[in-house]
Amino acid sequence: MALTGLFGGTFNPVHLGHLKVAEEVINRLPLDRILFIPSYIPPHKDSVEVVPVRHRLKMVEIACRSHPAFMVSEVEARRPGRSYSIVTLRKLKRSRPEDQFFFIVGTDAFLEIETWKDYDQLLRECSFIVVSRPGFGIKSLQKVIERIKPAAILVPGRRSVLKTEKLLPGSLFLLEASTPDISSTEIRKRLKAGLPITGLVPPGVERYIEKYKLYR
Ligand code: ATP
Ligand code: MG
């Protein structure tokens, strides 16, 4: 049995904000591993600017080398079409019925949870870990939390690590963290304008983007 975090996203490209999210989660919750799951075509985004999934997978794989518990999953990337979290979760549950799953999302993404397919079932079948993002503190979730009524709300402290018995499915974990103010949108804009992206992505990802001339 493993406690597995599921970190979905377009990762177009993966950046140091994503890695900080995963680091905060692995340091503050007793998860065994975090699967980064690049989506094939993002459900809520137009696909024009999205580079092919093989590039996004490779960049995430490079980024995941920074921590032994971080790994990339091709569960969504390999299936052409839109990826819905509920479908992904059930697929992963079938392949690892013993595992307990935790979706990891930034506050901006969780604010839109009610637009996700079968979100009410999703919220019951796994737990969510919501990590703050600059401009979107945990307080911004108040209204949505009132509407979705999670089974339990847990706020792990900066130092204390939560005990495993507290990890019931249907829980909502709220993590106020200081993640850097970086977005993939900003990185794509900088690359288009010929500006450097040093310090925004891991060095290996920067070299990969340079090598394949992505986002030009
Ligand atoms: P884009 O600008 O293309 O939307 P992004 O930087 O938001 O890219 P995504 O792939 O959309 O990255 O995000 C994947 C997940 O990571 C989402 O849950 C998002 O909220 C979270 N996330 C991304 N960047 C940060 C950040 N700097 N701090 C906290 N969470 C983040
Ligand atoms: Mg985004």
Query: CATH code at 97?
Result: 3.40.50.620
Q: Would you say residue 134 lies in a domain? A: yes
* 64 CA distance to ligand 1 middle (Å): 16
* 36 CA distance to ligand 2 middle (Å): 14
Strand duo 100-106 + 3-9: pairing: parallel
- Residue 54 burial (CB < 10 Å; 0-12/13-18/19+)? exposed
What distance in Å separates the CA atoms of residue 137 and residue 108, rounded to the nearest whole number? 9
pLDDT at 37: 98
Q: Would you say residue 214 lies in a domain? A: no
Q: Going by CA atoms, what residue is nearest to atom 7 of ligand 1?
A: 183
What distance in Å separates the CA atoms of residue 68 and residue 76, rounded to the nearest whole number? 22
Per the structure, the count of domains in the chain is: 1
Ligand 1 binding pocket includes 13 (Cβ within 6 Å): no
pLDDT at 141: 97
Q: Would you say residue 211 lies in a domain? A: no
pLDDT at 55: 95
> Residue 20: nearest ligand to its CA?
1
Ligand 1 binding pocket includes 105 (Cβ within 6 Å): yes
Q: Going by CA atoms, what residue is nearest to atom 2 of ligand 1?
A: 185
Q: Would you say residue 187 lies in a domain? A: no
pLDDT at 80: 83
Ligand 1 binding pocket includes 21 (Cβ within 6 Å): yes
Structure tokens, 21 = 């999210």
How much is the CA Rg of the chain, to the nearest whole Å? 17
pLDDT at 73: 97
Q: Would you say residue 190 lies in a domain? A: no
Ligand 1 binding pocket includes 185 (Cβ within 6 Å): yes
User: pLDDT of the chain along its 216 residues, tens only?
Assistant: 899 999 999 999 999 999 999 999 999 999 999 999 999 875 455 545 889 999 999 999 999 999 999 999 999 998 888 889 999 999 999 999 999 999 999 999 999 999 999 999 999 999 999 999 999 999 999 999 999 999 999 998 765 555 655 567 899 999 999 999 999 999 999 999 999 999 999 999 999 999 999 998
Strands (E), 1-142: 3-9, 33-38, 70-72, 100-106, 127-131
pLDDT at 81: 83
Ligand 1 binding pocket includes 176 (Cβ within 6 Å): no
Scored b (16 or more CB within 10 A) or e, 65-84 reads: eeeebbebbebbbeeeeebb
Ligand 1 binding pocket includes 43 (Cβ within 6 Å): no
User: Residue 128 belongs to what domain range?
Assistant: 3-181
Q: Would you say residue 66 lies in a domain? A: yes
Q: Would you say residue 15 lies in a domain? A: yes
Q: What is the pTM of this model?
A: 0.95
